[in-house]
Amino acid sequence: MSDDIALSPADREAGVVRCDACPVLCRIRPGRPGACDRYANEDGRLVRVDPLVLLARPETAKVAFVEGSEAWQGELGRGDGAFVTGIGATTTYPDYKPAPFIVATERDGVDTVTVVTEGIFSYCGVKVKIDTDRYLGPEQAAVRAGGEQVGHVTTAEYGSQMLSLGGVRHLTGGSKKEGNVTCETLLALCNREAVELTVEGGATVTIQAAAAPIVNGQREERMRVGCGSAAIGMFAPQWHGHVDEVIVVDDHITGVLSEHQGGRFLDMRPSGIRVRGRKSTPGRYFQVAEPGMGWGGTDLADPLAIVERIDPKTAWPGLRLLFVSTTGEHSAWFELDAALRPVPADMPAAVRATVERIAENCEPALCTVLFMAGAGGSLRAGVTENPVRLTRSVASTLTRVTLGGAPAYVWPGGGITVMVDVARMPDRAFGYVPTPALVAPIEFTLPRADYAALGGYASRAVRLEDILRSERVRLEGGR
């Protein structure tokens, strides 16, 4: 140990221990935890506060919880009963150390090795999918937490708005406060806690993994059934005979039934109602209004505002007109009077049923949080003495990567860039270090012979039953 991190004689006399689990190098007094609350000084020994988490198959978990620890330890001792995750495993920092656990098991008749560790990720962030039609803010707008920018708005996808949060520049490239707030935000989201964010020039939104978003204080209930054109494609036959025109209001693509291919297929008579916006293909209009919190993600409170004109040569008195949004949340029924003016009227039951059918076909609005990180750095040295071989093994799918037991998507290209749905991971799977950086579990599983060929630490492999005898563990049912 170098002089700058060595303990003083007074510290040693007082029972202080130095934690080398991350670059902060905390000096921890007896009975106290370090800055991250993950390591503590127990009678002069550095210990991990939380137990090692094992994921069990449902039948094994039942034995564990119903029949008691002796029974489930015997079940797990057969090797196939559980998967050792990186949660509670401790880190490999400094990364020249072998991983904390190299677990040998037999799976489906194949001798395998799972290398288990907790990675310290400065290069990480989350991608958030928010199911909403409501306008959150302009693309590329800053997203803030506690006044600090922690990310930005990215592209809108089909019925969802995407945010990109975190990343090394927010964690380390700005002020100390920006880095700390970014780390706190990422940690909360990855542990499936609710976080309130504000979009510059847009909305305030509360997001939580696998929960409905709350936009400007209003909880979203439905993800839209599709764009306005898609809604016509789905429901045109159900409107036929009950309406003369349907306009499905949508910030992206507003649909007009009689012009649309769906209406033409049904031989619908042209209505002569022309909507505002830029016509794309027949029955499909872009930019009918500004984005906002109203009808179909527009700023409209009155759907008639998008009617540009009604052609007296084509329209007729008594024409039946339905306006509806892409979630069915908004709907209105009009009939043209003798002067061809739309007059509000009671919606017929058959038409009301189609509006309810749109709502029925909407999926629940949810937030999805995907943790994304670069695992191609020095943590590979905890797996093998020749790190590039691990990268190549992952790229060739010989090695399977999981985070807390949840399957990870590995991006093509160089390095090991992984992405995982935090809702599939065990509770409280993430930690942090005050550098600032997130700590996440990661596991590499491959056949034992291939691990030896990687230059891995095969001689350090232990059986699951050895871990049960020597470690404090917590058993969870796999998601």
What DSSP line would sit under 175-186, residue for residue? -HHHHHHHHHHH
Domain stop point among 360, 381, 408 = 360
- Residue whose C-alpha is closest to residue 350's, from 247, 257, 231, 242: 242
What is each CA distance from 34 to 46, 105, 256, in whole angstroms?
10, 33, 63
Domain stop point among 331, 360, 389 = 360
CA 467 to chain centre: 32
% of the chain residues with pLDDT over 90: 78
- Tell me which residue range forms the domain holding 23: 9-48
Considering the domain boundaries, does residue 348 fall inside one? yes
Question: Which of the pair, 465 or 79, is modelled with greater confidence?
Answer: 465
Segment 331-344 mean pLDDT: 98
Domain stop point among 309, 328, 360 = 360
Reported as a single tens digit per residue, the pLDDT across 445-479 is 999 999 999 999 999 999 988 898 888 898 887 66
Considering the domain boundaries, does residue 439 fall inside one? no
The pLDDT assigned to 259 comes to: 97
The pLDDT assigned to 393 comes to: 96
**pLDDT at residue 264 tops 80:** yes
How far apart (Å, rounded) are the C-alpha atoms in residues 363 and 470? 47
Considering the domain boundaries, does residue 74 fall inside one? no
Q: Which of 125-139, 241-255, 423-437, 461-475 is predicted least confidently?
A: 461-475
Read off the pLDDT band of 370 (50, 70, 90): very high
Q: How many domains does the chain have?
A: 2
How far apart (Å, rounded) are the C-alpha atoms in residues 55 and 474? 9
Considering the domain boundaries, does residue 257 fall inside one? yes
How far apart (Å, rounded) are the C-alpha atoms in residues 232 and 229? 5
The pLDDT assigned to 63 comes to: 45
The pLDDT assigned to 469 comes to: 87
Q: Whole-prediction pTM value?
A: 0.90
Q: Which of 55-64, 211-220, 293-302, 373-382 is predicted least confidently?
A: 55-64
Considering the domain boundaries, does residue 240 fall inside one? yes
Q: What does the block give as tokens for 326? A: 């892409």
Residues 443 and 52 sit within 8 Å (Cβ to Cβ): no
- Residue whose C-alpha is closest to residue 303's, from 347, 334, 338, 349: 334
Considering the domain boundaries, does residue 199 fall inside one? no
The pLDDT assigned to 365 comes to: 97
Reported as a single tens digit per residue, the pLDDT across 239-260 is 999 999 999 999 999 999 999 9
The pLDDT assigned to 9 comes to: 87
Strand partners, 344: 334
Residues in the chain: 479
Alpha-helical (H) ranges within 41-157 are: 58-67, 69-76
Reported as a single tens digit per residue, the pLDDT across 156-210 is 988 899 999 999 999 999 999 999 999 999 999 999 999 999 999 999 999 999 9
Considering the domain boundaries, does residue 131 fall inside one? no
Q: What does the block give as tokens for 475? A: 């058993």
**pLDDT at residue 57 tops 90:** no
Considering the domain boundaries, does residue 34 fall inside one? yes
Reported as a single tens digit per residue, the pLDDT across 114-123 is 999 999 999 9
